[in-house]
């Protein structure tokens, strides 16, 4: 959610934002990377290095899930999903639900 707020910059509550809950069985392939494994500049505002790293992971179909550090909150992580990976067929995805934002975040 912090990643969305960092890029919104509109000053308005995103009215159409939705989320899903994904249940991932333990047998699904996961790759976890830390800051030391990411390319130089991965955390820059111009996200070219991070995007190139993610594109390579996606195209190589190494795993169904890639867990990376959050740029916004370094103690947090983001999970990226490769929907084209065969393991993705084992995901159980909820129906979309509306995100309820606290108005104070946009004042």
pLDDT score of 102 more than 70: yes
Tell me what pLDDT residue 107 has.
Answer: 72
Q: In the prediction, which pLDDT does 48 show?
A: 92
The whole-number pLDDT of residue 100 equals 85
pLDDT tens, 36-95?
Answer: 999 999 988 888 999 999 999 999 999 999 999 988 888 889 999 998 899 999 999 999
pLDDT at 29 over 80: yes
Q: Tell me if 67 sits within 8 A of 78, measured CB to CB.
A: yes
**Dist. CA 47–CA 27, nearest whole Å:** 31
């Amino acid at each position: 959610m912090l990643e969305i707020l960092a890029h919104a910059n509109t000053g308005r509550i995103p009215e159409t934002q939705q989320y899903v809950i994904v249940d991932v069985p333990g047998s699904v392939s996961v790759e976890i990377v830390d800051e030391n494994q990411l390319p130089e500049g991965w955390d820059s505002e111009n996200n070219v290095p991070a995007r190139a790293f993610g594109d390579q992971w996606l195209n190589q179909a190494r795993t169904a899930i890639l867990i990376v550090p959050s740029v916004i909150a370094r103690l947090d992580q983001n999970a990226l999903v490769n929907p084209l990976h065969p393991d993705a067929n084992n995901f159980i995805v909820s129906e979309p639900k509306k995100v309820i934002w606290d108005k104070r975040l946009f004042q």
